[in-house]
A and B are shown apart, each in its own frame.
Chain A
Amino acid sequence: MMSPEFYSEVGNLLMWLLTAAWLLPLLGFVIEIFGGYWSDRKSKTPAYLAVGCIGTGFLLSLVALLTWVDAADLNLWHFGDTESAAVAHHEADAAEAGHEDDHSHSHDHADHSNAHGEHGDAHHDGGHHGGHESHANDPFKTAFAGTFYRLGKYGSLDITLDWYIDGLTVAMFAMVTLIATCIHIFAIGYMSDELTERYEDHFVHTEDGGHFHRVGRFYRFFAYLSLFCFAMLGLVLAGNIFQVFIFWELVGVCSYLLIGFYVERKTASTAANKAFIMNRVGDFGFLIGLMILWTWFGVFQFAETNPETVGSTGLFQMVRTADGELETQGEGREKVVVLQAQQGIHKDGGNPHPTIPYFLLVAAGLGIFGGCIGKSAQFPLQTWLPDAMEGPTPVSALVHSATMVAAGVYLVGRFYPMFTPEVLLVIAYTGCITLFVGATIAVVATDIKKVLAYSTISQLGYMMLALGVGGWLAGLFHLITHAFFKSLMFLCSGSVIHGCHHEQEMTKMGGLAKKMPITCWTMFVGVVAISGLAIPFLGIPKLGAIAFSGYHSKDAIVAAGMTFSSLNPIHSLLFFVPLITAGITAFYMFRMWFMTFFGKPKDQHVYDHAHESPRVMTAPLLILAFFAMFCAIGGENGPLAQLILTTEPVHVAEGAMEAGHIGLNLPGHHQIHEFHASAGAVALLVAFGGTILAYLFYGLGIVDTGAMQKQFGGVHEFLREKWMFDELYEWMWVRPTLVVATWAAAFDRCVLDRFLGFLAGMVVAISSWDRRFDEAVVDRLVNAVGEATSSVGRSLRYVQTGRLRQYVMFIAVSVVMLFFVLFAYLPR
């Protein structure tokens, strides 16, 4: 265990490095968006600024990676990719002096560290929960965590923004910043036609029939890219699941802004809306997961790793014992999971430990996975990703293939300890369906970007499947390798599109290899990588098979699937579907490559005007191609896999027999290893099959594809319509929602307001009766009195003649009369 001083020293250093790398793009965003608005549209400064920010971020991430490797005392291989190149000299001695056999070396290493964690502490606490704090840190000994600041605190409920740094974090940071830097540089060239005061958009027509014109939005593109980098890095750095949700939404909104970058295109803004709303459907699940976790655990932090603050714990430490087991009690509906902490919320009578009902833990896991379904475009929420290709190609490369859509996979990997076997099975089947659906649609797609989009969906399905069948490492390994070769291929497609003046249909391309050789051959690297091709029977010592990165990671996935299905024969689909799809993958990728770069030019106009992209665009291609080839060098024993492996949850390595309700057996490292060779061979065979088929169909053209389309017209149409998901959702969700909305508005207007109108009408009616009563009775009475008074006055008027003599007479007569009256009535 690390000493507290060392922990805080290294932790703080890492925190500062990665926080700087994280916040720099935000700073860049602010400067770009405000500076760009008030400055020259033709300036490239925003792009340089954005590249500077993310490039600096990459350097900082690299330093952080090396620091982390150093601090974790990790024995990575001393050769391989640049990420670990600098480590090489540091580690060289140990590695060379140590072991001949790399397999055993790595295994020893992993086992050693795990064993250390478990055995050492199992001794200490002797099964008593009181001592759990002392060993709770150990499974996370290579992780650093801390708090930025607080969002709210109520008693024991403390919502904060945290950071959590382990091997996965630094690897993701390096990957994201590196790819983002390349894509930023590429975008300088790709977006250069935005450097104008008057941009003509050929896809939008004004009412008078002309093309739409607007000012260029170069600066805005780079500002959005910077904002996205900030959000994505924040997601990776996040130290609690709530914070992940925050950045989850933020990457979503960046994706929204970037998909809808061409705001004047109706298709683009609709696609942006679709992406955001479908992600929100996933987030609905995410929120439910958050609510359950929050209510039953009362914390959001992943894990508390600081050796000084023992006693406070995170989710992972609460749900699993030190050796990664779920401690359950009861059966059936009564089954509960005992939490390994005193501070949970709900306590059973007599049980000193808080518990959570097992089905709620499953529900929480499914909920969180729901978020991942949305973000990673898994079945059944996959339909937004192809539409998202409306965004500029660098966006597709960065956001919709390499980073954001992989965030779902990342989260499943990160949150792995919280998932019960039931959830894992759902994840596996979701991935399985997705990878098949995606691959089949990709076979018939003709838009070059759509092919890549469906391929992304399919590959993400592979990752999910791997995670679901217990191949934790395989899934995340594929996440990183896929990020490199898929972003490479997207950039290549961007280069093609740029060279062909925004033509995306492959049916109008062909023969471009001569025109754009660099693009063609870097694309080839990507295609080979994703197809998982390798040179069979040959292997270099230490390096393993001669193959690009995709082979290693896909090999690992197929091996995990094979092991799983052999342990659980009832789920053997989880092996055969990905295996077959591996062939389909190779087929459609080579189909795309052949259709684009070889054969006869199908549209002479496009061909004549096609040109190779400028150096600012091809340089990133070469860099990414290098990483697509070599980032996974050494396979599962290579430095990248070993780096990720340090973060593996402790219970994965062992595997589990008869885990959970459903009697599932999860494969451990040893079992997977046993199947590795045979799985690799089978996968390779299938991939070659697909490649050869594609070559026959599209390279040599010996099969008439048009005729085949006719022959399988129904299937073809079904696939072209993307399995009818859009239509289905339109009828299932969109329309009913709008109908309910109309009803709600009508209810207000027709029921509530009418009721109110009725009440008002009643009041008016009552008051009109009141008025009649007033007029008929009260008023008449009062008028009568008034009338009488005035008629008396009128009659008295005649007395008032104004004649003095008459008045005197009146006086005299009255006096006399008074006199008589007095005399008559006055008593004597």
Chain B
Amino acid sequence: MSNPAFLLSATIFLPTLGALFLMVFDKKAEDAMRNFALVITAVTFGLTLLILQQFDRSEGGIQMAVSIPWVPTWNINYQLGVDGLSLPLVLLTGLISMLSCLASWSIKTKVRGFLMLFLILETGMMGVFLALDFFLFYVFWEVMLLPMYFLIGVWGGPRREYAAIKFFLYTLFGSVLMLIAMLMFYFNSASSEIAGNESIFDLLKLAEIAKVGGFDATMQIFAFILLFIGFAIKLPSFPVHTWLPDAHVEAPTPISMILAGVLLKMGGYGILRIAMPLCPYGTQYAAYALVALGVFSIVYGAFAAMAQTDFKRLVAYSSVSHMGYVLVGMAVWKISETGATENLNFWQLGMAGAMFQMIGHGISSAGMFFMVGVIYDRVHHRDLNKFGGLMQLMPLYSGLAVIIFFAGLGLPGLCGFIGEVFVVLSIWSYSPILAIITASAVILTAGYILWTIQRVYLGPEYKGPHKEEIVPITSRETTVAASLAVLAVLLGIFPYQLVLNLMDASIAQLTVSLSEGYAAVQETVTAVTQLSR
């Protein structure tokens, strides 16, 4: 297992192998298939832990790099590796996949197909986080897209076709923009020495070119906008977020968990891994817009959540609100008039907050969706006004749910707090006005979460239909919920020891090289303007 090529490839492709192997099972042996898929996801999670064990926390660059020519004619490589940005998300993917696989016992129809698509989906997600070649990244991005379409479209709720199409079209639109940007970089890289005067897809080398100012300002701005729209759809950020509530509401519980827990993080990861390193100038050019957009998403999502009556829709809008912090944290990059980066440490703090927010939100929102799923499986409705009194009927479930919802509320000691507060602390040095607006969101968040808890869990009596079917939480459900709740607590208490120190070196390296990349382009831009005068 010390061979990184094997380890990383196994992490990516083991689920696919499992999916193929599922075909030999008897059609009736549904439980056997579920158990088998669970074992596969558990082993995959084990492999990600193995990566963690071999990971060197003090090293900021790519580790366990693998590069094998794939399509040599076009310089496409099978290139993998981890660093502090991708490793936490790889771990999260492994974990959430395992838990949501455990949550898929509630899927009763076409079990084999579900599990196969599910496992292929995991391959796509792992691939996105581990790929270091732009083309390979794109391929995995699309690989992840298709199973998701079917998982929503076949196993979803009443309006599943609409939701699936909406999801598919939104994401496809984004990936088309990404494709254009990818080709821009491919053909522009040929003029650089670093690329050996060839067109390349290698993200690391492209980032190096950007760091020395190899891409000109206009191209960076255009490419950044294209890439950003592509990733912002996934993030999701206002105004391209409307696929999310529909997709979540219609998707079955385990898929909602994956969607909120992992898929949304791809947007943030894509910005950190591709959009920012490849276009430092473009990033800085758009930084204020990014922060403003993030802040608006936070407030807007919170308001929209408050007005929902569908439990799952509310949680979906809370995701919009929470992912706004990610955008804000990444973009609080302040520069002086001379183009030098100011308050680098605050930016690093914000970026760490953004990364932590992705992890924390991955845990808390997956948990929230699972909790909605548990009650939906019993009473088959999600109308917030027709719940109540669950604390009496399902005490353990309600207790765990309250912990997880408080994590979403950003209560200290739980995982939602660190990310939010780091971002909030970093933003004043960038823009006091936006900082105040961001801080005001704590009131709104508390408002809609507590109101939800009151309407669903508190009160004397359950008010909706199917009261007789409310039974206490099963041990399998308890396992999922308790794992998430325990993680939420642990991450909230030991953020640095568990997660933040994994990524600090990488964040430092990223911010520094972005600053250099911006300064390199800025010099030429200033020179040109002076000449023209």
Contact = CB atoms under 8 A, between A and B. Distances in A.
A281 interface: yes
A249 B418 CA distance: 13
B450 A206 contact: no
A246 B416 CA distance: 12
What is the predominant secondary structure among interface residues of chain A facing chain B? Answer: helix
B143 interface: no
A94 interface: no
B307 A294 contact: no
B400 to A, nearest CB: 11
B443 A263 contact: no
Contacts of A753: 242
B406 interface: yes
B460 A37 contact: no
Contact of B242 (A250, A264, A740, A756): A756
Contacts of A748: 242, 245, 304
Nearest to A160: B496
A149 B497 contact: yes
B439 A284 contact: yes
B369 interface: no
A737 B440 CA distance: 12
B429 interface: yes
Contacts of A270: 454
Contact of A157 (B305, B346, B413): B346
B307 A264 contact: no
Interface in B290-316: 300, 303-308
Given A253-B406, A264-B460, A152 B303 contact: no
B412 A741 contact: no
Contacts of B500: 151-152
Nearest to A291: B428
Interface stretch (A272-280, A304-312, A497-505): A272-280
Nearest to A263: B458
Contact of B459 (A159, A263, A743, A747): A263
A266 B429 CA distance: 43
Interface residues of A, number: 62
A477 to B, nearest CB: 30
A705 B373 CA distance: 58
Contact of A37 (B317, B344, B395, B436): B395
Nearest to B445: A280
Contacts of A295: 346, 425, 428-429
A287 B446 CA distance: 14
B413 A246 contact: yes
Given A744-B304, A744-B307, A745-B308, A152 B239 contact: no
Given A156-B345, A745-B308, A37 B396 contact: yes
A267 to B, nearest CB: 11
A288 B349 contact: no
A245 interface: yes
A287 B424 contact: yes
B343 interface: yes
B448 to A, nearest CB: 8
B146 to A, nearest CB: 21
Interface string A133-151: 0000000000000000111
Interface in B383-397: 389, 391-392, 395-396
Contacts of B448: 741
B74 interface: no
B451 A273 contact: yes
Interface in B468-512: 494-497, 500, 504, 508
A345 B429 CA distance: 10
Nearest to B440: A284
Interface in B199-243: 239, 242
B459 A154 contact: no
B195 interface: no
Contact of A214 (B303, B307, B392, B440): B392
B461 interface: yes
Given A263-B391, A264-B389, A287-B442, A737 B447 contact: yes
A741 B303 contact: yes
B145 interface: no
B246 to A, nearest CB: 9
A276 B306 contact: no
A738 B459 contact: no
B457 interface: yes
Contacts of B348: 154-155
A272 B504 CA distance: 39
Interface size class of B (residues with CB under 8 A): 35 or more
A280 B412 CA distance: 13
A156 B343 CA distance: 11
A752 B239 contact: yes
A395 B248 CA distance: 40
Given A151-B418, A741-B303, A206 B461 contact: yes
A207 interface: yes
A752 B442 contact: no
A215 to B, nearest CB: 8
B303 A740 contact: yes
Contacts of A290: 425
B186 interface: no
Most buried by A among B343, B352, B412: B412
Contacts of A288: 435-436, 439
B183 interface: no
A484 to B, nearest CB: 29
A291 B245 CA distance: 32
B412 A283 contact: no
A66 interface: no
A544 B458 CA distance: 53
Interface string B411-446: 111000110011011011100000110011011101
A291 B425 contact: yes
A744 B242 CA distance: 12
Contacts of A607: none
Nearest to B396: A37
A744 to B, nearest CB: 4
A426 interface: no
A775 B401 CA distance: 57
Nearest to B306: A741
A459 B495 CA distance: 39
A752 B242 contact: yes
A489 B443 CA distance: 33
B352 A738 contact: no
Contacts of B497: 149
Contact of B428 (A206, A214, A292, A744): A292
A269 interface: yes
A284 B444 CA distance: 10
Contacts of A206: 460-461
B442 A280 contact: yes
Interface in B322-352: 343-346, 348-349, 352
A212 interface: yes
A280 B446 contact: yes
A277 B453 CA distance: 13
Contact of A737 (B389, B412, B444): B444
A260 interface: yes
A746 B508 CA distance: 42
B382 to A, nearest CB: 15
Nearest to B497: A149
Contacts of B422: 152, 159
B303 A277 contact: no
| 6 smallest beta-carbon distances between A and B, as pairs | A155-B345, A745-B307, A741-B306, A744-B303, A291-B428, A246-B412
Given A152-B418, A207-B461, A291-B428, 17 more contacts: A149-B494, A151-B500, A155-B344, A201-B460, A250-B413, A263-B457, A263-B458, A280-B443, A280-B446, A284-B439, A291-B424, A294-B428, A738-B307, A741-B305, A744-B300, A753-B242, A756-B166
26 contacts: A154-B346, A154-B349, A154-B508, A156-B345, A159-B422, A204-B460, A212-B461, A214-B392, A250-B411, A263-B458, A264-B391, A265-B460, A273-B454, A280-B442, A283-B442, A284-B440, A287-B424, A288-B436, A291-B425, A291-B435, A345-B343, A737-B447, A741-B304, A741-B307, A745-B304, A745-B317
